[in-house]
Each structure stands twice: as structure tokens, then as C-alpha cells.
Amino acid sequence: MTRLLILTGAATFVGFSLALSELRWFRRPGLATRLSPYAAGVTGNGSAGVFSVASFREVVAPLAQALGARAAQLFGVSEELSVRLSRIHSPIDATAYRVRQMGWVGGTLAVATLASAGLRLAPLLAILATVGLPALAFLALEQRVASASEDWQRRLFLELPVIAEQLAMLTTAGWSLGAALQRLGTRGTGACAADLRRVSQRIRQGLSEADALREWAERADVEALNRLVSVLALDREATDLGRLIAQEAQSIRRESQRQLIETIETRNQKVWIPVTVAALVPGVLLMGIPFLDALTLFSSS
């Protein structure tokens, strides 16, 4: 119990030190630190002290990244976290997300340990609590990103037919491919529009239109988009690009309709599950009562 109190006191001291280090009245930066952003040849502002959140994050970030990636592989997650975060246009990078994830895991572990010691749980229950709860916290944050990534891919697939048809109309009307992509990105509000704004930005940064579109297809990981990008890559070779894009839009729309029909049929089949159970349970009871009565008669005779 004494060791537990010492560890709790040490963790509390570190937490208060990190929290108070962010307050200006508690830690006033020195003159050199305040002048470092204006000095020539000095990189960084030097405001992160030894006992600060920034310095703590710099130390923990590589360990959190390695442990988080390893744990994700153990739980069967094969896709890189950076790819999923980039796909959903997350404002934080993979390292910051892993640090936040490890923070939740560490907090859950501390709470589970204190609760197990305070409630005096059995050893087996204590082990399950201290191991299972942090694992659940890790998986909950991992599942949040996975769900957001799958939802973004689904929205992208559903919006692709409309985007492809608009691209076909614009290119047929004489617009260049880059101008058409930029117009759809600035005028639209969906998942495709957000991705097209990024594609236009990459083109302005120096990438060719084909390379920017391939980068989009690799990041999105949608089969229909891969086919559309392969058609758009023929911009400098095909003379009737608008007709090819329109045909691909029709193909994507037919695929979307097939998936919608499959979803409807699957849901129709699931509707019959409670109906079947509701019909079988009373039937089994009605058949079981006479059967048990017959067994009682035979056993008594």
C-alpha cells in the first residue's frame, strides 16, 4: 500500500507540473527565449522547457508511435494510421494521435489499478481490469478512426457518379481537366469536393495532374476511383475524353445500384430472423408440453 501511495504521489506531481508549465504566471519565459523567434539563424522559439508539455510530447512521441503501431498490428489492423487520418482530412497527424491514444491507455491503466487496489478485487479480476480496460480504450480510439475512414470511402463512392458526370460535361464543353477539377472542388461540399481541393492544391505545388490524381486514388483506396483516375490519365492522349468519362460514370452508377440492391436484399433477409424466432419459440413450447406430459405418464406407469 505504501508503494502505491508513493507511485500515486509521483504521478500527481508530474501531472501538476505539466499542467502548471502551460500557465504564463507560473513559468515566465526568459529574455533569450522571447527574443529567439526574431534572431537570425535560430530555428524554433525555444519556449519548451524541461518540464513542459511540448518537451514531454517530444520524448513520448516516438515511443507512442512504435507501441501504437505494434499494438494495432497485433489486433489485426494492417492499414497505416497516417493514411487513414490523411484520408479523412484529420487536422492532427499520426504521431499526435498515437500520443493521445497512449495517454488514454495510461489514464485507463492508472484508474483500473487504483480501483482494483481500492476495491480489493480478486487477483484474476484485477488482472482482467488492468489489462482489459486499457486494451478497450486503445481499440475504441482505433475503431473511431477506422469507422471514419470507412464512412469517408462510402461517401466518396456514392458521390463519384455525380462528380464523373460533371467532369464529363465540363471537359466536353471545352474546359481543361485541371480547371474542371478546381471548379468542382471549389463549388462542391461533399467528400469528393474536399479531396478535389487537395488535388488542385497538389497541382499548384508542382505535381502533374496525373500524379495528383494517382495520389488521390492511392489515399482513398476505392476501386471505382482507381478506374476513373485511369480514364482521366488519358487526358493528353484521348480526343474524346468527355465521352470516356461519361461511360465510366455510367459504370460506377450501375455498380452503386448493384450494391444498393444487395443491401436491400440483405436487410430483407434479416427482417425474417425475429419473425422466425417468434414463430419457433411458441411452437417448441406447444410441442414440448405434451411431450413432457407423455414422459411423465410413462415414467409413472
pLDDT in tens, 174-204: 888 889 999 999 988 889 999 999 999 999 9
Amino acid 45: pLDDT: 46
Residue 260, in any domain of the structure: no
My answer on whether 215 and 143 are in the same domain is: no
Residue 119, in any domain of the structure: yes
Q: Which one of 126, 150, 174 terminates a domain?
A: 150
| 81, 86, 87, 88 alpha-carbon torsion, rounded to 10° | 100
My answer on whether 145 and 167 are in the same domain is: no
My answer on whether 141 and 82 are in the same domain is: yes
pLDDT top residue among 120 and 89:
89
The C-alpha atoms of residue 109 and residue 189 are separated, in whole angstroms, by 41
pLDDT top residue among 43 and 243:
243
Residue 106, in any domain of the structure: yes
My answer on whether 119 and 10 are in the same domain is: yes
DSSP 190: S
Amino acid 225: pLDDT: 92
The C-alpha atoms of residue 86 and residue 5 are separated, in whole angstroms, by 43
Residue 74 has pLDDT above 60, yes or no: yes
pLDDT top residue among 146 and 46:
146
Residue 280, in any domain of the structure: no
Query: Which of the residue ranges 18-32, 52-66, 76-90, 118-132 has the most confident prediction, judged by mean pLDDT?
Result: 76-90
Structural domain boundaries enclosing 14: 2-34+49-150
My answer on whether 135 and 193 are in the same domain is: no
Number of domains in the chain: 2
Note whether 64 and 102 are within 8 A (CB).
yes
**CATH value at residue 232:** 1.20.81.30
Amino acid 283: pLDDT: 77
Q: Which one of 238, 255, 272 terminates a domain?
A: 255
Residue 145 has pLDDT above 70, yes or no: yes
My answer on whether 74 and 107 are in the same domain is: yes
Query: What does residue 222 show for φ and ψ, rounded to 5 degrees?
Result: -120, 125
Residue-wise pLDDT for 11-28, tens only, equals 776 666 666 666 665 556
Residue 71, in any domain of the structure: yes
Residue 26, in any domain of the structure: yes
My answer on whether 90 and 221 are in the same domain is: no
pLDDT top residue among 6 and 109:
109
Query: Which of the residue ranges 7-11, 58-62, 292-296 has the most confident prediction, judged by mean pLDDT?
Result: 292-296
My answer on whether 74 and 203 are in the same domain is: no
Local structure of 120: helix, strand or coil? coil
My answer on whether 82 and 161 are in the same domain is: no
Residue 126 has pLDDT above 50, yes or no: yes
CA geometry: angle at 24 spanning 19 and 25, to 5°? 95
What is the average pLDDT score of the chain? 81
My answer on whether 98 and 220 are in the same domain is: no
Question: DSSP labels for 193-249?
Answer: HHHHHHHHHHHHTT--HHHHHHHHHHHH--HHHHHHHHHHTTTTT-S-HHHHHHHHH
My answer on whether 15 and 134 are in the same domain is: yes
Residue 48 has pLDDT above 70, yes or no: no
**Of all helices (H) and strands (E), which one includes residue 147?**
helix 123-172
My answer on whether 67 and 133 are in the same domain is: yes
Residue-wise pLDDT for 214-226, tens only, equals 999 999 989 999 9
Residue 287, in any domain of the structure: no
Residue 203, in any domain of the structure: yes
